[in-house]
Amino acid sequence: MIEYWNPLVERMPVDELDKMQEKRLKSLVNYVYQHSDFYKKKFDDANVKPEDIQSLDDLKKLPFTYKSDLRDTYPTGMFCVPNEQLVRFHASSGTTGKHTVVGYTRNDIDQWATSLARALTSLGIGRGDVIQISYGYGLFTGGLGLHYGAEEVGCTVLPTSSGNTEKQLNLMQDLNSSVIACTPSYFLFMNEVANQSGISIEHDTQLRVGIFGAEPWSEEMRTRIEEATGIKAYDVYGTSELSGPLCTECQHQDGIHIWADQFLIEVINPETGEQLAEGERGELVITTLAKEALPLIRYRIGDITVINKQPCECGRTHPRIMRVLGRADDMLIVRGINVFPGQVESVLMNIPEVGEHFMIVVDRVNELDIMKVQIEMTDEAFSDKINDIMSLEKKVASALKNVLNLAVKVELVENGTIPRSMGKAKKVIDNRKL
């Protein structure tokens, strides 16, 4: 098994990586200024010329790009190449508004596959592995994105896409899938269905690795998945605007390696836009250094994270982002307190009596926000004494209050009534008319 896909790049000394980034940043600003009316106007409005950008430090002079820019220029107004140079379109799932379109040149597709080839190699995945891709194929980037990366490293791809869980489990057993890629909530659902049919993923399948993403998930959920199914669970990061799923953790499970030759990352204070120091928690901002069709300059991706620039034990020198707690978009403000669904998940995963499915429901009653967390009663936790059930509700409510600093009403609901999802799980119902 090979250790690195591009050893020279992945282990490049940090100062050389910086030089490479600087060079690529300078040519990028010239490229977008010349090829995109959108960026030319954006730079002109901000009073910045390409020649003002001489070092990585000058990055902060550049204006931000937002998701709304992609929407406003729908469908292809930000593209830097004519349409005939595109080999593919994808469109975002539109979870946060009107959909957005991303185009790819041949080189963009290759870069994307390379990024994932490095990532898969870092997880010990390659020739001889059967990878079951249960992310949706189609306009969503999850399926096809991983597909190309997996083929690049020589895996055998089983493109099941999402849904039809019984069939997924049959194929997993019959074709000896060793790797699965899907949302963590779908994998848990799959495990539930497997158990109902008497199949143990740990003992009755060859599955050993899961690549999970497309929705925020917690360290505690990782523990639960690994314990329940005997596989190693890894986080994958990416969004459609940046191509799709791009980068993963390595086997050390200590942050996602973001390839510095392809992406320049910063963390900013979401309110002031100021850059934050390494190790400070803030909003992730990404500049694509190598994309041709749709380069993004200081793109406000909206995820809240921390950058770690220390070289990893695996020998890779590229910076890591620590587990994404949630998107700025997912953040709820309840009685003035910021709440991420990921925090709720972390708390619940630490309470063994509670199942992994939950729903946050926020209402406004008499001008006051009421946050309710619904969790499912499991067979194991069920006692037929009312007091036992009420004390479980109290236990969960007080654990949530400790973490969120917010009084939360906990409601136990019947098993199986919280909707399961084949893709991104919906975890919040906000009934407030704000």
Partner 1 sequence: MEEKIIKQISLFAENKPGRLANIAENFRKADINIRAFTIAEAGDFGIIRMVVDKPDVAHEVLHDAGFTVSETSVLGVEMQDIPGGLGKIADVLGEKSINIDYAYAFVTKTEKALLILRVNDIEGAIKTLNVTGVKLIDMADIQAI
CA angle 347, 349, 351 (to 5 degrees): 80
> What gap in Å lies between CA 48 and CA 323, rounded to an integer?
34
The nearer residue to partner 1, 338 or 374, going by C-beta atoms, is 374
Q: 149 near 115, Cβ under 8 Å?
A: yes
Min separation Cβ 384 and partner 1, Å = 3
The nearer residue to partner 1, 34 or 417, going by C-beta atoms, is 417
- Among positions 334-373, residues that touch partner 1 (CB under 8 A) are none
Q: 112 near 145, Cβ under 8 Å?
A: yes
The residue range among 22-30, 116-124, 171-179, 413-421 that interacts with partner 1, by the rule CB under 8 A, is 413-421
Cis status, amide bond into 7, omega within 30 of 0: no
> What gap in Å lies between CA 361 and CA 36, rounded to an integer?
43
Min separation Cβ 377 and partner 1, Å = 5
Number of residues that bind partner 1 (CB under 8 A): 17
Measured in whole angstroms, how far is the alpha carbon of residue 256 from the centre of its chain? Answer: 10
The nearer residue to partner 1, 94 or 416, going by C-beta atoms, is 416
Q: Does 192 bind partner 1 (CB under 8 A)?
A: no
- Among positions 279-298, residues that touch partner 1 (CB under 8 A) are none
Q: 133 near 147, Cβ under 8 Å?
A: yes
Indicate which single residue of 413, 420, 421, 430 sits in contact with partner 1 (rule: CB under 8 A). 413
Min separation Cβ 159 and partner 1, Å = 31
The nearer residue to partner 1, 385 or 433, going by C-beta atoms, is 385
The nearer residue to partner 1, 201 or 418, going by C-beta atoms, is 418
Min separation Cβ 414 and partner 1, Å = 5
Using the Cα atoms of residue 159, residue 165, residue 167 and residue 170 in order, give the sign of their dihedral. Answer: positive
Of how many residues is the chain composed?
434
Min separation Cβ 375 and partner 1, Å = 12
- Considering all CA atoms of the chain, what is the largest pairwise distance in Å, rounded to the nearest integer? 73
Indicate which single residue of 304, 412, 418, 422 sits in contact with partner 1 (rule: CB under 8 A). 412
The residue range among 232-240, 256-264, 323-331, 412-420 that interacts with partner 1, by the rule CB under 8 A, is 412-420
Min separation Cβ 387 and partner 1, Å = 9
> What gap in Å lies between CA 365 and CA 293, rounded to an integer?
48
The nearer residue to partner 1, 279 or 416, going by C-beta atoms, is 416
The nearer residue to partner 1, 163 or 416, going by C-beta atoms, is 416
Measured in whole angstroms, how far is the alpha carbon of residue 28 from the centre of its chain? Answer: 25
Tell me which residue of 328, 314, 338, 324 sits closest to 404, measured CA to CA: 338
Q: Does 411 bind partner 1 (CB under 8 A)?
A: yes
Min separation Cβ 370 and partner 1, Å = 13
Binding-residue pattern over the window 367 to 406 for partner 1, x denoting contact by CB under 8 A: ----------xxx--xxxxx--xx----------------
How many Cα atoms sit within 13 Å of 328 on the Cβ side?
Answer: 18
Min separation Cβ 118 and partner 1, Å = 44
Indicate which single residue of 84, 174, 227, 414 sits in contact with partner 1 (rule: CB under 8 A). 414
Min separation Cβ 410 and partner 1, Å = 10
- Among positions 76-105, residues that touch partner 1 (CB under 8 A) are none
Min separation Cβ 192 and partner 1, Å = 12
The nearer residue to partner 1, 111 or 191, going by C-beta atoms, is 191
The nearer residue to partner 1, 200 or 417, going by C-beta atoms, is 417
Indicate which single residue of 164, 398, 417, 431 sits in contact with partner 1 (rule: CB under 8 A). 417
Min separation Cβ 356 and partner 1, Å = 15
Contact set with partner 1 (CB under 8 A): 377-379, 382-386, 389-390, 411-417
